[in-house]
Structure 1
Amino acid sequence: MPGPATSIANVPLHDVLPRHYVAAEDDLRRLAHKLDTHHSAANRTAWHWYPEHADCPPVSSERNYLLLVDTTITLINTGDDWLELTLDIAWRPKLTVNAAVEVACWCPQNHNMHQVREAHWQVAGRHDLADAFTASTAMLTDVLNSGPFDPCAWRVWAGLPHAPAARQ
């Protein structure tokens, strides 16, 4: 897993994207740059890429989730609790753009994290990829612009248990 990189500028998208989707590279870079440079995301972004997953996997199942590129914007991380925004392009089993707001899990059975807001867009071509990436960056930018930046507020919204009082 190459990375992390703090900017999409350091991600070799031409090596990561399937060859029929490489023409969307400029659009993806332009959109991702807006996330990288957003004042609420500054110095909080980590990009990873997986060129070995560029080709569609020969065996597909609903359980497959092969990342091509992903980013995490860590808004809060206290060591015990966190709030992150994530965006990725992955085979699921079809090529899909995914975006989410994630919080630490405080359920009796630890799930590690919960996606309290998520969206997925399957893509069939370079234009679909650019459109899906546009929608995903818009979703994350909306959170960056308006918050909340408190994981507890997102847990309340999603009906999830709160962190133990000593850890909040």
Structure 2
Amino acid sequence: MPMSRGAFDDVPLTTLFPFLSPADVEVLRHAARAVDAARVDGDGDGEGEGAKWEWALQHAVFPRTQQGTPLILGLDVIERADMGDQLEFQLWVVWTGLAQLAVEAAVTVACWCDTDHATHDVDALRLVVGEENSLAGAFQAGTERLMGWLADPGDADYWRARAGLSARRPR
């Protein structure tokens, strides 16, 4: 089953997260609306259609047999630059290997190292949902971090310099 894509209001939150209270659902919706409003030009994917939220109904229950990090809900805001460069702002709700939910947010840049690593996370946040973090609270913290990153320069070189990575150069 493929990922579904659309506006956050289209996300079936109570199907993906049946334990959410109505108040928690409203916290997620309010946080997502703030992210959508914070996107610099509303067209963060570089493809003219605006960034879309993605979700996987098949991951509403922990998928025991899947390798990797099963994505339940996410948003990628992609900024493309000349010469194949890329800057990506991500916010995801995923399953951990221990069948716990986690909210992950990251800023990722294309790699320009001598050894091609493809991409680098230059800043990241990971909050595991549990006794100290509710899903609503972790999602809200992730969206706040994402909005802070979106307010910084949308330039991959800025983020590379901030992380001490190799500067962009022609390949």
After superposition, the CA RMSD in angstroms is 2.3
The one-letter amino acid paired with 1:151 is A
> Which has the larger helix fraction?
1
Are the equivalent residues in 2 in contact too, given 1:123–1:132 (CA < 8 A)? Answer: yes
Q: Percent identity?
A: 30
* Aligned partner of residue 149 in structure 1, secondary structure: coil
Change (3 A) 1:39 1:46: closer
- Give unmatched runs, 5+ long, in structure 1: none
Deviations 1:116-147 (A, max 9, x none): 0001000027x7111111111111111222x1
2:93 counterpart of 1:89? yes
1:153 is matched with 158
Change (3 A) 1:162 1:4: farther
The one-letter amino acid paired with 1:137 is T
* Aligned partner of residue 21 in structure 1, secondary structure: coil
Q: What TM-score comes out, normalization by structure 1 length? A: 0.83
Q: What TM-score comes out, normalization by structure 2 length? A: 0.82
4+ runs deviating over 4 angstroms? none
Deviations 1:25-69 (A, max 9, x none): 221111011111225151222211111011123469xx6411001
2:145 is matched with 139
Are the equivalent residues in 2 in contact too, given 1:99–1:119 (CA < 8 A)? Answer: yes
Tell me the distance in 2 between the aligned counterparts of 1:83 and 1:41.
15
How many residue pairs get aligned? The number is 160
2:86 counterpart of 1:71? no
Are the equivalent residues in 2 in contact too, given 1:32–1:137 (CA < 8 A)? Answer: yes
